[in-house]
A = this chain, B = another copy of it.
C-alpha cells in the first residue's frame, strides 16, 4: 500500500496551516449600530472556514482559485494544474460527521470527472469554548483515507428511512474505531459501486474503474 500522492500546492498549504494551527482562533460577531453581539453555535462554521482558507491562502501567496458557485465540486483549484481541493470541518470534541459528498452525485460524477477520485481533502477539527473557536488539528487526506464500510453498506453513508443521502466520514483519527478506512482508491471505488448496486440494483461504474479486485 503506497502512501497517497497529494498535490504539491495542497501539501504546501497544509504544511503551513499545520505549523500555525495553535494560533488559529476567532469568533463570529454581529456588528450592529456600534454594538458587537457574539454569535453562538456552530451552524455554518464549515462554510466560514472554507471561505477563510481561500482568503488566507491567497494572502500567503499560494496558487489557489475559488471554484464557481454553480459547481458542485471542488471548493478550490490549486496549483498550476488546477488540482481539486475540498475543505471540511468538524467539531473535534464530537465525531466527524460532515458530508463528504452527495452519494448519487458522487457515483455519477466519477464517470464524467475521474479526477475527482484524486481530490485532496483539507480537514479542520475545531473546538468551541464560549464564543471562541480554535483549531485543534488539521489533516490532508484522500477520500479513501477518510471513508470506511458500515454495518449496513459496503460504504458508510448517511441513510434516513432507507434513502441514502451523503457519503459520511470514518473515524480516521481514532485507533478505537470498529470500521477501518480503506487501504487504497480501488477498495473505496468498489465499496462505492457495490453500495450503489445494493441500493438501486444498478451500477454507474464506468469501465475504466472496473478492476480485478473484490
The reply to whether A25 and B29 contact each other, CB–CB distance below 8 Å, is no
B-binding residues in A (CB < 8 A): 20, 23-33, 35, 37, 39, 41, 43-44, 48-49, 51-52, 55-56, 59, 133
Say whether chain A's binding surface is mostly helix, strand, loop, or mixed: mixed
B26 and A55 form a contact (CB under 8 A): no
Please give 20 more A-B residue pairs, beta carbons under 8 A apart, in addition to A25-B33, A39-B39: A20-B33, A23-B33, A24-B32, A25-B32, A26-B31, A26-B32, A28-B28, A28-B30, A30-B51, A30-B52, A32-B49, A32-B52, A32-B133, A33-B52, A33-B56, A35-B56, A37-B51, A39-B44, A39-B48, A43-B43
Copies of this protein in the assembly total 2
B32 touches A59 (CB 8 A): no
Are B29 and A29 in contact, CB atoms less than 8 angstroms apart?
yes
How far apart are A64's CB and chain B's nearest CB, in angstroms?
14
